[in-house]
Amino acid sequence: MHLTSMYPDIPAHPPVNIHHCLFNRPDQQGWKDHTFHIDGLTGERRTFRQFKQRVVDGATALSADVGVDLTGPNEIVGILGENCLDYFTLIQALLYIATPFTMLSHFYTPFELTHALDLSTCTRIFVQPKFLSLIRDTGFPADRIYLLDGAASGKRSLGDMIDAVRARDTPRTAVRPAGKDTLAYLMFSSGTSGLPKAVMISHGNLWFTTLQGAVTGRDSQPADLSHTHEGIPSALVFLPLHHAYAFVVFNFRALLIPITLTVLPKWDLPTALALIPKYKITILNLIPSIVHQIVHSPLAASADLSSLRSVSSGAAYLPAELGERIHALAGGGKVSMTEGYGMSEFTMSATTKPIHGSLGGRAKNIPGSAGILLPGVSARLTRPDGSLCSVGEPGELWIAGGGIALGYWNNPEATKETFVDGWLRTGDRFKVDSAEDGVLFFQDRAKDTLKVGGMQVSPTEIENALIAHPDKLVLDAAVAGVVLPGGRIADEKVPRAWVVLSAAGKAKGEGAVVKALDAWIGTALSKYKRLRGGIAVVSEIPKSPTGKVLRRVLQDEYEQQTQKPSARL
């Protein structure tokens, strides 16, 4: 089955630096200066014009003697920190000077961060003071570490560099040229299987995904914003900016219209609920685990959410029941509810659940679906032999369009497997019940990668960590996703491990080994990668004749055990 988008196509655009799309559009000339950023904790504000000038000054600081020259060949700049106002500044300044960068998760352990730095060939890093010890533990050169914000002895911050440019009135740097395939940044992803990889996103990819938002925005009815402070939309930013979903929404699509972004370092339910009425927040961008927390919270049940006009969920599948509950809690009919499907290898989004009435009523918003294809996206559903599926038949989703990444950084083998003849293999299985409607329904993840709380989890990475225990307790290991009885989200799978003990492990005893491995994973890997599904000791790992781990066999056995009333894990 082959599908094309029902939306108008993406407008033609010149192959130039994405900065021009974001800050130099003709429509922006008529904008009144508006509050663009608010620090949700301190109340600090920056208008759109102040932010635009700060980006230019930041770009000058990063390409002049007063700051640090990052315009040389082979530079890859790392960003490590929680959300803050100058996170946005640094991203736009680096795009301005066409210097590639990579966002590093502040959830990383030293082990994970070392791997990410090596994988991305990172040459410099901007970090918040609270994470200096983490970066130092990796052995990263001290003279190549700068501060994203705040202060620390012997370190210059981006703000210090910008202040120096302004104090000296340094001639401002011009926007550096960038073409359609110029590398913009690296985004970490586990891909369709295996260990984390660095996805190469280009300036052309960013033009495409930004203009997708422009096309869909023209089709939506404007909400009543008379109750807001400046008569414009207002969004609350708490999802981590190192994640593709928040990164694209708040750094690119947010620049399509006048909007105010109130920024929190990270998600905190009581703080978020207090800021919604204070700043008349109209837009909430959520992930399923946060949706679950909100709808089950007594605080949310009594909170003032009357300012909300739009709620969306991304990063992972949202069960229909949760979607209905958050929609009702947020205000029901006066609030639009949208979801979508995407992946880092496609920059962000490939599908969306359209607002009712979209495309003259032709676009259907069906509960439990992943929606329809976004502008400029084509898709096909295939059987394992590569032939096209029929209507109603599940198959692997392949997508094409301007959002397809350049490939994986320094990984031609994985690039060849995932990016095929202009198509992206998602590794996820979908079905379409009506070719005319084009509504996609998610079936399951054909690939190994899990989504836990909206974050990607690689089973291979956890398996390698188990085998790498310092006491060599494990000969072989397999990790797969399982659904916990009574879990937070009915369809969410969490990691569970099956291990074969070594001689040292057998001598230590099964119970002691399980405790030791659980503690080790808790230290070596991020919290969301921990084995919430438990650890089981087995005599062997089931494998195919070619040596591929048969995770489905392990999952089926676990499911059968948990369905038995007497089962004990």
pLDDT along the chain (569 residues), means of 10: 93 91 94 98 98 98 91 96 99 99 94 94 98 96 97 96 97 96 94 79 97 86 84 97 95 96 98 98 92 91 95 83 90 88 94 86 86 96 93 94 97 95 93 91 75 82 89 91 76 89 94 96 93 94 69 88 55
Q: Which is it for strands 419-420 and 101-104: parallel, antiparallel or unpaired? A: unpaired
Q: What angle do CA 438, 443, 447 make, to 5 degrees?
A: 115
Burial class (CB within 10 angstroms; exposed 0-12, middle 13-18, buried 19+) of 544: exposed
Residues whose CB falls within 8 Å of the CB of residue 382, separated by 6 or more in sequence, listed in order: 388, 389, 395, 396, 398
Question: 429 with 204: CB under 8 angstroms?
Answer: no
Query: At 120, is the secondary structure helix, strand, or coil?
Result: helix
Q: Would residue 286 count as lying in a domain? A: no
Q: Would residue 1 count as lying in a domain? A: no
Sign of the four-CA dihedral 534, 536, 542, 547: positive
Query: At 135, is the secondary structure helix, strand, or coil?
Result: helix
Q: Would residue 220 count as lying in a domain? A: no
Rounded Cα distance, 538 and 535, in Å: 10
Query: At 334, is the secondary structure helix, strand, or coil?
Result: helix
User: How many Cα atoms sit within 13 Å of 360 on the Cβ side?
Assistant: 3
Q: Would residue 527 count as lying in a domain? A: yes
Question: 405 with 199: CB under 8 angstroms?
Answer: yes
Secondary structure of 231-248 in HEC code, one letter for each residue: CCCEEEECCCCCCHHHHH
How many structural domains comprise the chain? 1
Q: Would residue 528 count as lying in a domain? A: yes
* Helices marked H in 32-145: 48-61, 85-96, 110-120, 132-136
Q: Which two tokens stand for residue 119?
A: 């994988």
Question: 483 with 558: CB under 8 angstroms?
Answer: no
Q: Would residue 391 count as lying in a domain? A: no
**Strand ranges inside 41-182, DSSP E:** 45-47, 77-80, 101-104, 124-127, 145-147
Full DSSP string of 452-483? ETTEEE-HHHHHHHHHT-TT--EEEEEEEEEP
Residue-wise burial string across 6-23, b where 16 or more C-beta atoms lie within 10 A, e elsewhere: bbeebeebeebbbbebbb
Which of 371, 359, 409, 390 shows the shortest CA–CA distance to 116? 409
Q: How far is CA 6 from CA 9, 55, 340, 374, 424, in A?
A: 9, 37, 15, 8, 20
Residues whose CB falls within 8 Å of the CB of residue 89, separated by 6 or more in sequence, listed in order: 51, 54, 55, 58, 158, 162
Rounded Cα distance, 61 and 97, in Å: 10
Q: Which two tokens stand for residue 39?
A: 């620090």
Q: What is the pLDDT of residue 487?
A: 66
Question: 162 with 152: CB under 8 angstroms?
Answer: no
Which of 85, 59, 79, 57 shows the shortest CA–CA distance to 70? 59
> What CATH number does the domain containing 473 carry?
3.30.300.30
CB atoms within 10 A of CB 258: 18
Question: 245 with 235: CB under 8 angstroms?
Answer: no
Phi, psi torsion values for 352, nearest 5 degrees: -150, 145
Question: 377 with 424: CB under 8 angstroms?
Answer: no
CB atoms within 10 A of CB 134: 18
* 0.75 exceeded by pTM: yes
The structure tokens 């730095």 sit at 117
Q: Would residue 24 count as lying in a domain? A: no
Q: Which two tokens stand for residue 58?
A: 């930041």
- Calculated CA dihedral for residues 17, 20, 22, 27, nearest 10 degrees: -160
Sign of the four-CA dihedral 384, 385, 389, 390: negative
Q: Which amino acid is at 214?
A: A
* Phi-psi sector, 276: left (phi>0), alpha (psi -120 to 50), beta: alpha
Residue-wise burial string across 102-128, b where 16 or more C-beta atoms lie within 10 A, e elsewhere: bbbbbbbbbbbbbbbbebbebbbbbbb
Q: What is the pLDDT of residue 489?
A: 62
Question: 210 with 22: CB under 8 angstroms?
Answer: yes
Rounded Cα distance, 395 and 382, in Å: 5
Question: 472 with 502: CB under 8 angstroms?
Answer: yes
Q: Which domain holds residue 495?
A: 458-563
Task: Provide Rg for the chain, Cα atoms.
Answer: 24
Q: Would residue 505 count as lying in a domain? A: yes
Rounded Cα distance, 235 and 284, in Å: 6
